[in-house]
């Protein structure tokens, strides 16, 4: 079943390892397929995992239900330059709590409506929707 959920999620280097439904919200528990990253400081490959912590990221709704991803945020240590680096994910902008596709979806909805309506229908705050709109607008420039 996890293989079908992985295909449904359709994200690079991601495998679904579990699913929970709590109070009408869907949460995919994911695992990242790569075991090393390129050090952003010295550009060598590093595989020494320092720590992993789970974060909850909002994604596009599935079957009309709010959907979240339980994402392992992995921090690596580079012995060459002796620095720590957090893994970057191509489908999640740095320091954001929504997938890029969810933020693009919200941005498109705002263009056809207003922030208050989108916030109410998505079950997120006005300020969160406004922040998404500003982030997408600024990154398009």
End position of a domain, from candidates 88, 107, 129:
88
Distance CA 52, CA 14 (A): 16
- Both 64 and 108 in a single domain? no
- Both 118 and 100 in a single domain? yes
- Both 76 and 30 in a single domain? yes
The pLDDT value given to residue 2? 61
- Both 67 and 104 in a single domain? no
What is the average pLDDT across 73-80?
94
pLDDT tens readout for residues 46-70: 998 999 999 999 999 998 999 999 9
- Both 98 and 69 in a single domain? no
- Both 23 and 77 in a single domain? yes
End position of a domain, from candidates 70, 88, 106:
88
- Both 51 and 67 in a single domain? yes
- Both 71 and 101 in a single domain? no
The pLDDT value given to residue 67? 96
8 pLDDT higher than 90: no
Strand partners of residue 31:
15
- Both 101 and 82 in a single domain? no
Q: How many domains are contained in the chain?
A: 2
- Both 84 and 118 in a single domain? no
How high does pLDDT run on average in the chain?
92
Strand partners of residue 75:
51, 86
Which of 112, 21, 18, 121 lies closest to 71, judged by CA? 18
The pTM for the full model equals: 0.87
- For the chain, percent of residues with pLDDT exceeding 90: 77
Which domain, by its residues, includes 67?
A: 1-88
> Cβ distance 13 to 34 under 8 Å?
yes
- Both 83 and 123 in a single domain? no
| Phi, psi angle pair for 60, to nearest 5° | -60, 145
- Both 68 and 14 in a single domain? yes
End position of a domain, from candidates 88, 109, 132:
88
pLDDT tens readout for residues 102-131: 999 999 999 888 899 999 999 999 999 999
């Amino acid at each position: 079943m996890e293989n079908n959920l992985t295909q449904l999620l359709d994200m690079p280097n991601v495998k679904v390892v579990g699913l929970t439904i709590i109070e009408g919200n869907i949460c995919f528990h994911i695992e990242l397929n790569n075991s090393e990253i390129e050090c952003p400081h010295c550009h060598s490959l590093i595989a020494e995992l320092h720590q992993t912590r789970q974060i909850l990221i909002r994604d596009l709704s599935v079957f009309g239900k709010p959907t979240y991803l339980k994402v392992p945020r992995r921090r690596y240590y580079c012995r060459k330059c002796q620095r720590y680096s957090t893994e970057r994910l191509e489908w999640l902008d740095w320091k954001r709590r929504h997938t890029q596709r969810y933020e693009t979806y919200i941005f498109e909805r705002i263009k056809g409506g207003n922030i208050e309506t989108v916030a109410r229908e998505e079950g997120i705050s006005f300020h969160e929707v406004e922040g998404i709109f500003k982030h997408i607008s600024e990154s398009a420039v």
